[in-house]
A = this chain, B = another copy of it.
């Protein structure tokens, strides 16, 4: 895929503290970047944010993460993080993410979230309103094919 295949792109700059002795971003930091970009994606959809979800007692919890490192990013790089909702299950939401630096595709990944009761961590159906908003958001941003 390319940067253009994403419904949403968030750009951030690599911080000094995120780079290791090999001069490249420590691999664990990409899940933090994914999280930052996901927060901005969610804001763009207009859906209730994590604070509102928490008050309602139903939140998203990460269930699985995958990161593939194609090429390293370095200190001060400007990274474009593409986020796309790839699948809506009964109680799960799968997001696909990619990190690009200009024309270079550095990182691929995905995060699977489960919509669950905050106290007992029992999965609950994704609200119908969320489904509608996310589907519309992805359609509105879809590349014509």
Contact = CB atoms under 8 A, between A and B. Distances in A.
B39 A76 contact: yes
B50 A121 contact: no
B28 A72 contact: no
Q: Please give the count of copies of this chain that the complex contains.
A: 4
Contacts of A66: 64-66
Interface of A: 15-17, 19-24, 26-32, 34-36, 39, 49-51, 54, 59, 61-69, 71-72, 75-76, 111, 118, 121
20 contacts: A16-B21, A16-B26, A16-B35, A17-B28, A17-B32, A17-B35, A19-B21, A20-B21, A21-B23, A26-B35, A27-B31, A28-B30, A28-B32, A28-B35, A31-B31, A39-B76, A49-B76, A50-B75, A62-B69, A65-B67
A-B pairs with the 9 shortest C-beta distances? A28-B31, A27-B62, A28-B32, A17-B26, A65-B67, A64-B68, A17-B32, A66-B66, A19-B21
